[in-house]
Amino acid sequence: MDHSIYNLLPKKAVLATMHGKEQALGETFASIGVTLCVPEAFDSDRFGAFSGEIERPGSMQDAARAKLTAAMATTGMSVGLVSEGAYGAHPVIPFAAAGTELLIWRDAENNYEVVEHWFDANPAYDHAQAENLQEARQFLDRISFPDTAVIVAPASNREAPCGKGLRRMRDVEHAVKTAIDTCAHSMCFLQTDMRAHMNPRRMETIRQLGKKMADRLVCRCHACGTPGWGLLRKETGLPCEWCGGPSLLVSHEVHGCVACDAINMEPRSDGHTYADPAHCPMCNP
């Protein structure tokens, strides 16, 4: 870390949240001299809700940027931070869940933006249908309830929850009964509440991502001095061990500045210089 960069960072930044993410991010950013300010009565749910009542507009990045723009406009602050998450099926492992967290830092005054990601291969993300309370309790047993809150809705209308952020058994029981009674198929749909303040695992993931972002913000560009030097993209084409042709695997990383054209090409962090032929489109079409 280049600690001399602290005086290049703003003293305050708006955090676009209504779900307590300052608990995960505040201390880390304070350690690099930035106080995160949460806007009053800021409705981040209007940019998409995990429970489905409000569909997220566009991609995860689109929603995050819209949320950040709104928070900066509301407060009049020129620097902001926003978090956004997406959870679903694991891209490789069948029947497993995974999640991606996104964090964006924007300095409108100096015209640069830093984007960082975190992949969680073991999130507190799950869902199930239940015909009765016994089946509903089986779901609760596997999601670390009540630490992880639950959302309950009719199975035939999952976008109309009977209860969100539920952490008391009597509230869950009432919501399950209501959902079953109002469902066309007499079933309820239960899902983990993925809002950060209702999901300790997700809050910890955001905390780790915040540390990654803070570490990057105290790295400045060697050419122009802008904060945020780091990974810009990964490029594929690692040579095949058999034929030497480009494989589908990452060949190198491109590290660079978020404000100017300065870049460095970095080798793969695992040290591999050749790809297994299984990943070669020529040897394994």
Q: Clarify whether residues 156 and 59 are in a common domain.
A: no
pLDDT band at 6 (very low <50, low <70, confident <90, very high): low
Q: Clarify whether residues 211 and 238 are in a common domain.
A: no
Confidence check: pLDDT of 96 > 80 = yes
Q: Clarify whether residues 147 and 252 are in a common domain.
A: no
Q: Is residue 254 part of a domain?
A: yes
Instruction: Specify the DSSP element, H or E, that contains 137.
Output: helix 133-141
Q: Is residue 142 part of a domain?
A: yes
- Quote the mean pLDDT of the chain: 94
Residues 6+ apart with CB under 8 A from 281: 245, 247, 248
Q: Is residue 226 part of a domain?
A: no
What is the count of structural domains for the chain? 3
What is the CATH classification number for the domain harbouring 82? 3.90.950.10
Q: At what angle do helices 200-217 and 22-30 cross, to 10 degrees?
A: 20
Q: Clarify whether residues 206 and 95 are in a common domain.
A: yes
Q: Is residue 35 part of a domain?
A: yes
Q: How far apart are CA 186 and CA 3, in angstroms?
A: 60
Q: Clarify whether residues 79 and 166 are in a common domain.
A: no
Q: What is the pLDDT of residues 134-166, one digit of tens each?
A: 999 999 999 999 999 999 999 999 999 999 999
**Cβ-based burial of 265 (10 A; exposed 0-12, middle 13-18, buried ≥19):** exposed
Q: Clarify whether residues 114 and 136 are in a common domain.
A: no
Nearest one of 248, 239, 235 to 272, comparing CA atoms: 239
Q: Clarify whether residues 162 and 27 are in a common domain.
A: no
Q: Is residue 284 part of a domain?
A: no
Residues 6+ apart with CB under 8 A from 168: 146
Q: What is the pLDDT of residues 260-280, one digit of tens each?
A: 999 999 999 898 999 999 999
Q: Backbone phi, then psi, for 100, in 5-degree steps? A: -125, 130
Q: What is the pLDDT of residues 177-194, one digit of tens each?
A: 999 999 999 999 999 999
Q: How far apart are CA 109 and CA 72, in angstroms?
A: 12
pLDDT band at 1 (very low <50, low <70, confident <90, very high): very low
Q: Which structural domain, as residue segments, surrounds residue 247?
A: 233-279
Please tell me the predicted confidence (pLDDT) of residue 48.
73
Q: Clarify whether residues 54 and 114 are in a common domain.
A: yes
Q: Is residue 14 part of a domain?
A: yes
Q: Clarify whether residues 175 and 271 are in a common domain.
A: no
Q: Backbone phi, then psi, for 89, in 5-degree steps? A: -70, 145
Answer left, alpha or beta for residue 201, where phi above 0 means left and psi between -120 and 50 means alpha.
alpha
Q: Clarify whether residues 214 and 239 are in a common domain.
A: no
